[in-house]
Amino acid sequence: MPQSEPTPIRRPRADRARQVADVLRHQIHAGGYAGGLPGEQDLAAEFFVSRNTIREALATLKNEGLIERGPKVGTHVAVRKYDHGLDRLVGLQETFKDYGEVHNQVRTVAHLAAPPAVARRLRLQPGESVVFVERLRYVSDLPLSLDQTYLAPDIGAEVLRHPLEHNDVFSLIEQVSGQRLGSATLALEAVSADPHSAATLQVPTGAALLMLERLTSLDDGRPVDLEYIRMRGDRITMRGSLIRSIP
Amino acid sequence: MPQSEPTPIRRPRADRARQVADVLRHQIHAGGYAGGLPGEQDLAAEFFVSRNTIREALATLKNEGLIERGPKVGTHVAVRKYDHGLDRLVGLQETFKDYGEVHNQVRTVAHLAAPPAVARRLRLQPGESVVFVERLRYVSDLPLSLDQTYLAPDIGAEVLRHPLEHNDVFSLIEQVSGQRLGSATLALEAVSADPHSAATLQVPTGAALLMLERLTSLDDGRPVDLEYIRMRGDRITMRGSLIRSIP
Rounded Cα gap, residues A200 and A205, in angstroms: 10
- pLDDT score at B176: 96
Q: Rounded to whole angstroms, what are the CA distances from B110 to B14, B149, B164, B168, B203?
A: 50, 10, 13, 18, 27
- pLDDT score at A116: 86
**A26 → closest Cβ in B89, B117, B192:** B117
CB A150 within 8 A of CB A122: yes
DSSP-derived secondary structure letter, A194: P
The pLDDT tens digits for B58-70 are 999 998 888 998 8
- Choose between B186 and A5: higher pLDDT: B186
Determine, for residues B109 and A9 on separate chains, whether the beta-carbon distance falls below 8 Å.
yes
Please determine, for residue B200, whether its predicted confidence score (pLDDT) is greater than 90.
yes
Beta bridge partners of A188: A212, B238
- pLDDT score at B80: 72
CB B228 within 8 A of CB B170: no
Determine, for residues B89 and A244 on separate chains, whether the beta-carbon distance falls below 8 Å.
yes
The pLDDT tens digits for B166-175 are 989 999 999 9
Nearest-CA distance from B142 to chain A in Å? 18
**B109 → closest Cβ in A6, A63, A241:** A6
Determine, for residues A8 and B233 on separate chains, whether the beta-carbon distance falls below 8 Å.
no
Low-confidence residues of chain A: pLDDT under 70: 1-10, 246-247
- pLDDT score at B129: 94
Determine, for residues B63 and A192 on separate chains, whether the beta-carbon distance falls below 8 Å.
yes
The pLDDT tens digits for B84-96 are 888 778 887 777 7
Quote the strand ranges of chain A, DSSP E.
Answer: 67-70, 74-77, 82-85, 102-113, 129-139, 142-151, 181-192, 208-218, 223-232, 236-243
Please determine, for residue B2, whether its predicted confidence score (pLDDT) is greater than 70.
no
Rounded Cα gap, residues B93 and B91, in angstroms: 6
Nearest-CA distance from B207 to chain A in Å? 7
Determine, for residues B189 and A18 on separate chains, whether the beta-carbon distance falls below 8 Å.
no
- The highest-level CATH class for domain A82-239 is alpha beta
Nearest CA in chain A to B116: A46
Q: For the domain with range A13-77, which CATH number is right: 2.40.100.10, 1.10.10.10, 3.40.50.1970, 3.40.50.720?
A: 1.10.10.10
One-letter amino acid for residue A14 of the chain: A
Please determine, for residue B3, whether its predicted confidence score (pLDDT) is greater than 70.
no
The pLDDT tens digits for B189-198 are 999 998 889 9
The pLDDT tens digits for B219-246 are 999 999 999 999 999 889 998 888 887 4
Buried b (16+ CB within 10 A) or exposed e, A162-174: eebeebbbbebbb
DSSP-derived secondary structure letter, B30: T
Rounded Cα gap, residues B137 and B143, in angstroms: 6
Please determine, for residue B5, whether its predicted confidence score (pLDDT) is greater than 90.
no
**The dihedral sign for the CA sequence A156, A158, A160, A162:** negative
**What residues of chain A lie within 8 A of the CB of B22, using their CB?**
148, 213, 228
- pLDDT score at A247: 41
Buried b (16+ CB within 10 A) or exposed e, B209-227: bbbbbbbbbbbeeebbbbb
- pLDDT score at B158: 97
- pLDDT score at B240: 86
The pLDDT tens digits for A60-87 are 999 888 899 888 888 988 877 888 888 7
Nearest-CA distance from A74 to chain B in Å? 21
- pLDDT score at B247: 41
User: What residue segments make up the domains of chain A, in order of their start?
Assistant: 13-77, 82-239
ipTM: 0.85
Output the pTM of the full model.
0.86
Q: pLDDT band at B215, cuts 50/70/90?
A: very high
- pLDDT score at A6: 45
Domains B13-77 and B82-239 share a fold: no
Mutate to test the interface with B, among A23, A146, A151 (most CBs of B within 10 A): A23
